[in-house]
Amino acid sequence: MGARSAALRWGIAAAVFAAAAAALLPYLLSTDVPGDLHLSHVDVRDYFSAAQLEKARDYERFLAINFVLSQIALIVVLIIYAARGERFARESAAGRIGTGMLLGMIGLAFVWLAQLPFGFADLWWHRRHGVSKVGYLEFAFGNWALLGGEFLFACFVIAIVMGLAGPLRDRWWIVGVPALLGVGLLFTFVTPFLVGDSRSLRDVRLQQEAKRIARAEGLPKVPVRVEEVHEYTTEPNAAATGLGPSRRVYLWDTLLDGRFKRNEIEVVLAHEFGHLSRNHIWKLFLWSVLFAIPVAFAVTEAARRRGGIQEARAVPLALLVVAVLQIVVAPVQNVATRRIEAEADWVALETTRDPSAARALFRHFGLTTLSQPSPPTWRYVLSETHPTIEQRIAMANAWQARQSRAGGSASRPRAWSSSSCFERDGRRCLRSARERK
């Protein structure tokens, strides 16, 4: 009977996921990038010297190894907590939901402590290469507000799940998943209003170009803001965020410090406006809807070993399952975000009609962030949320070749003067530099 019941649950979950995938994937996979576009091989030695390539390999090799070790430490800590965390539930008198929230906070505290040494290692490496200006004490203790917000959000999620699982048991996700996704949608809407240390774009000429680019991509007036991050990092970056009336494009002031030419910044603007005009933020949200179904089911099934997700003692095990699933689905999520970023690059080329500026931008971006133009395959699959610099240059070449075959001009018309985001780690791009450090 138990095996039959489990098979029924798995069958229902598979059917729900298949129905959601059938409904969403045609839209999610649609893109302006031509299906027959061929990216020819790019010899990165034509754009970077041997010394620059070696420096980038050395820089990113350390970060990649540190990242892998941090993920191993994360899972080890959560395995130990899943095995022994139940004792905290027996010592609590906070009630079922209160105890669950307590266990969640304790688990997150263990995770923070386990990740702190790897964060210090990352910071040391960034400082050694002149990328970060953040001090070690500031890194460890200067951002309690953000850490507290993450703890409160986790408690809020636990309260919703356990509160619904009390009366609904294993069917909590029918109401809970839409509720949690609604919270995520609300957070996406209000995110632009939470970004600190930003100002309006002071360059009048660039303001005019931004308005022209937005109009060319069919957008109404979308504010362009500048984040003041130069005190914390030398990395350049940009991001598009918000929904509807809250939509904004943010440029880091490190993009405007003279290292990038005006036409390169215009490519960045066209890329970020492309995220908004092609509804990429909505697409990312719908991808999260698709991923939420198997995650919610897996957590529910695992929690049955501890009496069900409605029980506080199931929280440590649920945290472990969520962490493992995040690592497992990351390669698929990366495919989705890379597809979105590639479309934004294509939109930028179609709008600016300046492949030379795009190539120069990607080259300068690689030099200023020490990004490896063509990273190892394993790192590309596991952690790269954007196309590689090699691929982005190849797309600019392919766009130019396509224009030549069609008899069109590959240069911008006279009306032009000469997200998501450009950062290597796109998952962090919507946070200010102060928050990220």
Structure token digits, residue 373: 């133009």
pLDDT at 436 over 60: no
Closest CA to 429 of 214, 195, 269, 257: 195
Closest CA to 150 of 120, 105, 114: 105
In this prediction, residue 411 carries a pLDDT of 52
With a CB cutoff of 8 Å and minimum separation 6, the contacts of 182 are none
Closest CA to 219 of 166, 278, 261, 262: 278
In this prediction, residue 425 carries a pLDDT of 41
The pTM score is: 0.88
With a CB cutoff of 8 Å and minimum separation 6, the contacts of 263 are 352, 354, 357, 360, 412, 417, 418
Instruction: Report the distance separating Cα 154 and Cα 104, nearest Å.
Output: 7
In this prediction, residue 122 carries a pLDDT of 96
Task: Report pLDDT digits (tens) over 48-60.
Answer: 999 999 999 999 9
Query: How far does CA 138 lie from the centroid of its chain?
Result: 24
Contact assessment for residue 236 and residue 422, using Cβ atoms and an 8 Å cutoff: yes
Angle at which helices 204-216 and 315-352 cross, to 10°:
100
**Which pLDDT band, with edges at 50, 70 and 90, does 215 fall under?**
very high
Question: What's the mean per-residue pLDDT of the chain?
Answer: 87
In this prediction, residue 64 carries a pLDDT of 94
Amino acid making up residue 214: A
pLDDT at 416 over 50: no
Sort 231 into a burial class: Cβ within 10 Å, 0-12 / 13-18 / 19+.
exposed
C-alpha pair distances (Å), 17 with each of 182, 295, 422: 19, 11, 32
Contact assessment for residue 322 and residue 299, using Cβ atoms and an 8 Å cutoff: yes
pLDDT at 65 over 90: yes
Alpha helix ranges (H) inside 308-376: 315-352, 355-369
Instruction: Report the distance separating Cα 189 and Cα 187, nearest Å.
Output: 5
In this prediction, residue 197 carries a pLDDT of 75
Q: Is 433 helix (H, G, I), strand (E, B) or coil?
A: helix
Q: Is 424 helix (H, G, I), strand (E, B) or coil?
A: coil
pLDDT at 423 over 70: no
pLDDT at 407 over 80: no
In this prediction, residue 151 carries a pLDDT of 81
Residue 106: which H helix or E strand, with range?
A: helix 95-128
Task: Report pLDDT digits (tens) over 107-142.
Answer: 999 999 999 999 999 999 999 999 999 998 888 877
Instruction: Report the distance separating Cα 294 and Cα 290, nearest Å.
Output: 8
pLDDT at 90 over 80: no
Question: In terms of pLDDT, which residue wins out, 32 or 289?
Answer: 32
Query: How far does CA 140 lie from the centroid of its chain?
Result: 23
Question: In terms of pLDDT, which residue wins out, 38 or 418?
Answer: 38
pLDDT at 432 over 60: no
